[in-house]
Amino acid sequence: MRGLALLFCLAAAACSPSPPVALDVNVSCVAEGPLLRQRCTVTLTDRGSGRPVEGAQVSLSADMPSMPLAHSVRPADATPATAPGTYHGTLELEMAGRWVVTVRITGPVYDQVTHAIDVEHR
Ligand SMILES: [Cu+2]
């Protein structure tokens, strides 16, 4: 069901007019502190001007592609970091293995990207 919803979402995005700002979205996550906590850093750059995009609404969610519907990780807002155009958010994952982090940028610019991470037993 979730996969279907995502497909519709992608199709709708493909059909809508191109957004005014094309974004480069960079995502990286590192294990932090307790087991399975991942601190993710998102960097937004305006592809046209090369400038960092500040003041964006950025949220993170995570799922395991190999285990559809098995997990319900609480989504997290990413908050602005010190460096312009950089945002931090923390996800509490539920097990080791491959996770896909979805980053949604919902204003004033819009985009959605996914980023796969391999979470190890520690
Ligand atoms: Cu799992």
Q: At 40, which CATH number?
A: 2.60.40.10
Q: Is 22 helix (H, G, I), strand (E, B) or coil?
A: coil
Q: What confidence score (pLDDT) does residue 14 get? A: 53
CA dist list (Å): 78 to 85, 102, 109, 111? 12, 12, 15, 14
Q: What confidence score (pLDDT) does residue 65 get? A: 96
Rounded to the nearest angstrom, the distance between the alpha carbon of 63 and the centre of ligand 1 is 8
Q: Count up the domains in the chain and report the number.
A: 1
- Split the chain (122 residues) into runs of 10 and give each run's mean pLDDT: 48 55 94 90 96 97 95 96 97 96 95 95 72
Rounded to the nearest angstrom, the distance between the alpha carbon of 93 and the centre of ligand 1 is 9
Q: What confidence score (pLDDT) does residue 6 get? A: 46
The protein residues having their C-beta less than 5 angstroms from ligand 1 (an ion) are: 64, 67, 95
Rounded to the nearest angstrom, the distance between the alpha carbon of 19 and the centre of ligand 1 is 35
Q: Where are the beta strands (DSSP E) in 10-52?
A: 23-31, 37-46
Q: What is the pTM of this model?
A: 0.81
Q: What confidence score (pLDDT) does residue 21 get? A: 82
Q: What confidence score (pLDDT) does residue 121 get? A: 77
Rounded to the nearest angstrom, the distance between the alpha carbon of 7 and the centre of ligand 1 is 21
Rounded to the nearest angstrom, the distance between the alpha carbon of 62 and the centre of ligand 1 is 11
Rounded to the nearest angstrom, the distance between the alpha carbon of 67 and the centre of ligand 1 is 5
Q: Is 8 helix (H, G, I), strand (E, B) or coil?
A: helix
Domain containing residue 92: 2-119
